[in-house]
């Protein structure tokens, strides 16, 4: 039976503007890829992240249409042709798994997808004025989160230190695990001194203290750092497996952070995990502002990897028009509530 495909753009609207190192986000563009024959269908998400994704380029939709026109090539061949389009790769992976699954939204069956187990996640604190960030921190703690991730580098460093001092004054290391994400905000010359100051607050790790692409400077930091460093943006655009291995061997980070949408989907993430184990590097998985379609797939994949660390999986509650789903967050953990139902109404366009 002939397999067909179509894609549709979908604009997600933030409930409130989200402050990131790439500016203030009010909307987030994403694409739903649907594959179908006369009897059934599957859906995936190509969650391009403007300004961050390596495949944020003018021919993106042209490539999506090429995938639809050539869907009968099959998953494996399509993935090989999409090396430079990681966010389309994961959309293809999710769509095919969805198509061939008994339940199109349960693509990695496990005790998570049956609602019997959950995934501990970090509570994300968005950038903004000090008072706004403090309000978020209190809300997350009151909601039961025991791991907080705070983005730093946007406001005055001293103000950020005051926030961290407040958190540690109120909550000990045993009560709250603290992670910070600099998004490359520090210069190589100032980074080590700032890491020393941050280390006074029992911080679990810092993500990407300096901008990616400075392997020698980052390697030196990882060797001298008083607190663990996690590579994030550093992994984006590293397509070749030999180069991935060289990156880990050269920099020797304490952790790497895997965003499947940005690094080649589940196949790309599997490769990084295998290499991380080889180099005794820790890792965890993070979503990248996908809708609930992408988040659901990434969460199910994440659960199968048996990581004991809190994961960076968004809650899906950031958007006013997210796809209604069974995903739910309780006491700092992500659940799949089988008493709730999906409401995905986009129809295939022929």
DSSP string, 277-296: HHTT-EEEEB--S--HHHHH
Looking at the fold, whether 136 and 257 belong to one and the same domain comes out as: yes
pLDDT at 301 over 50: yes
Q: By C-alpha distance, which of 98, 22, 61 is closest to 342?
A: 98
Active site residue 151: yes
Residue 131 and residue 95 in one domain:
no
Q: Tell me if residue 169 is catalytic.
A: no
Same domain for 82 and 204, yes or no, is no
List, for residues 279-289, the tens digit of each pLDDT value.
999 999 999 99
Indicate which CATH number applies to the domain containing 81.
3.30.390.10
Per the residue annotation, which of 151, 211, 243, 305 is the catalytic one? Answer: 151
Are residues 137 and 49 both part of a single domain? no
Task: Considering the candidates 28, 106, 140, 259, report the single residue annotated as catalytic.
Answer: 259
Asked if 246 and 135 sit in the same domain, the reply is: yes
Q: Which residue has the higher pLDDT, 20 or 54?
A: 54
| Total count of domains within the chain | 2
- The sign of the dihedral angle between the CA atoms of 12, 13, 19, 24 is positive
Same domain flag for 94 and 128? no
User: Residue 273: its pLDDT value, please?
Assistant: 98
Same domain (yes/no): 193, 243: yes
Q: Which residue has the higher pLDDT, 162 or 219?
A: 219
Tell whether 74 and 182 lie within a shared domain.
Answer: no
Q: What is the pLDDT of residues 167-204, one digit of tens each?
A: 898 889 998 999 999 989 999 999 999 999 999 999 99
Q: Are residues 77 and 158 in the same domain?
A: no
Domain-located, residue 350: no
Q: Report the C-alpha gap between 291 and 100 in whole angstroms.
A: 21
Say what the pLDDT of residue 347 is.
52
| Separation CA 288–CA 262 (nearest Å) | 8
The 10s digit of each residue's pLDDT in 223-258 is 999 999 999 999 999 999 999 999 999 999 999 999
Q: Does residue 110 fall inside a structural domain?
A: no
Asked whether residue 316 falls in the same domain as residue 175, the answer is yes
Q: What is the pTM of this model?
A: 0.95
Where in the sequence is the domain holding 62, given as residue range(s)?
A: 4-100
* pLDDT for residue 105 is more than 50: yes
User: Which of 100, 130, 145 is the last residue before a domain boundary?
Assistant: 100
Strands (DSSP E) found in the chain: 4-20, 23-36, 41-46, 119-120, 123-125, 147-151, 177-181, 203-207, 229-231, 255-258, 282-285, 327-330, 333-336
Is 346 a residue whose pLDDT tops 70? no
Residues 6 and 4: their CA atoms lie apart, in Å, by: 7
């Amino acid at each position: 039976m002939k397999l067909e495909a179509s894609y549709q753009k979908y604009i997600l609207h933030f409930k409130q503007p989200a402050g990131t190192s790439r500016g203030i986000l009010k909307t987030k563009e994403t694409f739903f890829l649907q594959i179908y024959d006369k009897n059934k269908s599957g859906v995936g998400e190509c969650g391009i992240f403007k300004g961050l994704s390596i495949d944020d380029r003018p021919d993106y939709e042209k490539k999506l249409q090429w995938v639809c026109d050539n869907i009968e090539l099959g998953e494996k061949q399509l993935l090989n042709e999409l090396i430079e389009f990681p966010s389309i790769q994961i959309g293809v992976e999710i769509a095919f798994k969805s198509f061939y699954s008994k339940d199109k939204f349960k693509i990695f069956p496990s005790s998570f997808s049956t609602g019997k187990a959950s995934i501990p996640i970090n509570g994300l604190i968005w950038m903004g004025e000090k008072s706004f960030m403090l309000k978020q921190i209190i809300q997350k703690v009151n909601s039961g989160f025991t791991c907080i991730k705070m983005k730093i580098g946007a406001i005055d460093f001293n103000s950020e230190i005051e926030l961290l001092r407040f958190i540690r004054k109120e909550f000990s290391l045993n009560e709250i695990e603290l992670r910070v994400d600099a998004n490359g905000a520090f210069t190589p010359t100032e980074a080590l001194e700032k890491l020393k100051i941050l280390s006074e607050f029992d911080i679990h790790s810092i993500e990407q203290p300096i901008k990616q692409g400075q392997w020698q400077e980052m390697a030196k930091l990882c060797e001298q750092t008083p607190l663990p460093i996690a590579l994030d943006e550093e992994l984006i655009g590293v397509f070749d497996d030999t180069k991935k291995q060289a990156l880990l061997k050269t920099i020797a980070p304490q952790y790497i952070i895997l965003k499947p949408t940005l690094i080649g989907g589940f196949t790309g993430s599997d490769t990084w995990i295998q290499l991380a184990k080889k180099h005794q590097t820790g890792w965890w998985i993070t979503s990248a502002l996908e809708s609930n379609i992408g988040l659901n797939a990434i969460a199910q994949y994440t659960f199968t990897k048996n990581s004991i660390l809190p994961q960076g999986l968004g809650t899906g509650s950031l958007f006013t028009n997210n796809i209604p789903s069974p995903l739910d967050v309780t006491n700092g953990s992500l659940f799949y509530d089988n008493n709730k139902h999906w409401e995905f109404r986009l129809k295939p366009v022929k």
